[in-house]
Amino acid sequence: MPDSIEIEITGREASLILKYGYPFPEHAIVFKKAAGKDGFHRVTIGKFWLEMIVGDLCRSIKEVRSLSLREELDALCECLENAMRNSNSNGFYLI
């Protein structure tokens, strides 16, 4: 996958991305494999599509009422943004 990023996420983070990041069906597949499972999971996705997911997560932050959920989504966005910023180093990012 050109311009792809490999990230390491938890099952909880994968579930949040599926629910609040609105990935396209072809990209949702990789997150569905990890969603709700224990431990960390490596996911590879195109940088462009990861940017779209982060944008949707940011929009969702403004819509949810739960402060704790907003904080959790904000932390996830920050980690994903860091992965994108550092994507020119070694290709693997622990978020």
Domain boundaries along the sequence of the chain? 4-94
31: exposed, middle or buried (Cβ count in 10 Å: 0-12, 13-18, 19+)? buried
Which residue matches tokens 């959920």?
A: 69
Which residue matches tokens 């994903």?
A: 80
Nearest one of 95, 94, 1 to 47, comparing CA atoms: 1
For helices 11-20 and 25-34, give the axis angle rounded to 10 degrees. Answer: 150
pLDDT for 65-76, tens place per residue? Answer: 999 999 999 999
List of residues 6+ apart from 4 with CB closer than 8 A:
44, 45, 46, 47
- Is the pTM higher than 0.75? The answer reads yes
The whole-number pLDDT of residue 93 equals: 47
pLDDT for 55-64, tens place per residue? Answer: 999 999 999 9
